[in-house]
């Protein structure tokens, strides 16, 4: 279950919501917030969340906790929005690059197929490396500020669980080295009884640097032959270049899909948080606007059942427009 900054149990799990769009229209909320949140996209998202009234009092409490954290640490809100905006842009860039390379697959020439697969793998590995680095930056940002809310605390723990430890650093290092200029790819090829290629896989990416102990994530790139069989080290002659290109092209395609899966997992989990942060940007703008006008603000105490009593309420549209 992915973390949500709007719902305590994750996005989409809140129940008992009541649509209050008509009430929002009667209160002129869109007109009032147009003075505080000029960005139409952010304002509409904020108002859609506000109009979707939740019956569970823990939902507004959960949001109020996060808003308090952001109001106490405005640079955290700005920084998270910036980091997640860059992450979303990276996703769009990677999709465009992959589409460009896949459009070349129509060419069936083995050399072209190898070059295309190599290009896709290089783009995918570079994107995965940038994605993981961005996630590490988000974790570093969250560690700077003392957050108290459940939502931001859970986000901080989740990012730390992914980025902390040697395996994360090892994976980043492998993605960094995979397409360096001196990289050498090794394939394991299995032949059938008729000396035809039955299967193949990429088993290693080597470099002149001293080899390190094969542990953790590196096993993905350093598979040992099954049943203790030994692989004969064979260098394909130049006259068999077509076969070499086909085999290496296929193996690099699988590597590209593995790297893309890493990026996609990060994108799918964290990019949606950017839209939720728009809600808090609008809410923080409202708080700042009311404080600038020296108007009182409060976080109401919410309980289940019974009528709610409020006193000394202001007309938000009049307050915002004057």
Distance between first and last Cα of the chain = 44
Q: How many residues does the chain have?
A: 322
Which residue ranges make up each domain of the chain? 18-72+275-321, 76-270
- φ, ψ for residue 75 (rounded to 5)? -70, -25
If we measure between CA atoms, which residue out of 256, 270, 228 comes closest to residue 80? 270
Q: pLDDT tens, 99-153?
A: 777 666 555 555 566 667 777 888 888 899 999 999 999 999 999 999 999 999 9
Parts of the chain with a pLDDT under 70: 10-19, 102-115, 179-183, 187, 195, 197, 200, 202-241, 243-244, 303-306
DSSP class per residue in 72-97: H-HHHHHHHHHHHHHHHHHHHHHHHH
Our CA angle for 37, 149, 74, nearest 5°, is 40
* The predicted structure's pLDDT at residue 246: 73
Q: Is the pTM of this model over 0.85?
A: no
For residue 117, what are its two tokens? Answer: 């697969």
Contact between residue 214 and residue 229 where contact means Cβ atoms under 8 Å apart: no
**Alpha-carbon distance values, 18 to 45, 130, 260 (Å):** 16, 41, 39
* The predicted structure's pLDDT at residue 233: 47
DSSP class per residue in 154-212: HHHHHHHHHHSSHHHHHHHHHHHHTTSTT-EEEEEEEE-TTS-EEEEEEEEEE-SSPPP
């Amino acid at each position: 279950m992915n973390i949500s900054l709007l719902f305590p149990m994750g996005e989409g799990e809140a129940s008992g919501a009541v649509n209050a769009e008509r009430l929002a229209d009667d209160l002129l909320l869109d007109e009032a917030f147009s003075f505080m949140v000029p960005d139409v996209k952010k304002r509409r998202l904020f108002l859609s969340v506000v109009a979707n009234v939740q019956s569970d009092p823990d939902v507004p409490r959960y949001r109020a906790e996060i808003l308090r954290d952001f109001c106490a640490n405005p640079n955290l809100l700005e920084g998270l929005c910036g980091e997640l905006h860059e992450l979303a842009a990276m996703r769009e860039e990677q999709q465009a690059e992959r589409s460009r390379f896949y459009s070349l697959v129509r060419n069936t020439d083995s050399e072209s197929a190898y070059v295309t697969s190599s290009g896709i793998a290089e783009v995918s590995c570079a994107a995965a490396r940038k994605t993981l680095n961005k996630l590490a930056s988000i974790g570093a940002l969250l560690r700077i500020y003392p957050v108290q809310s459940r939502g931001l605390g859970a986000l901080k723990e989740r990012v730390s669980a992914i980025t902390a430890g040697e395996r994360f650093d090892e994976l980043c290092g492998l993605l960094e080295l995979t397409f360096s200029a001196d990289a050498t790819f090794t394939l394991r090829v299995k032949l059938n009884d008729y000396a035809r290629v039955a299967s193949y896989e990429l088993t290693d990416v080597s470099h002149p640097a001293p080899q390190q102990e094969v542990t953790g994530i590196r096993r993905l790139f350093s598979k040992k032959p099954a049943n203790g069989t030994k692989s004969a080290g064979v260098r394909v002659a130049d006259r068999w270049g077509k076969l070499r290109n086909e085999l290496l092209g296929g193996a690099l395609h699988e590597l590209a899909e593995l790297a893309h899966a890493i990026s996609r997992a990060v994108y799918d989990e964290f990019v949606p948080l950017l839209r939720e942060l728009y809600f808090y940007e609008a809410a923080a703008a409202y708080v700042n606007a009311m404080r600038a006008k020296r108007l009182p603000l409060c976080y109401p105490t919410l309980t289940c059942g019974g009528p709610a009593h409020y006193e000394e309420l202001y007309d938000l549209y009049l307050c915002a427009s004057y």
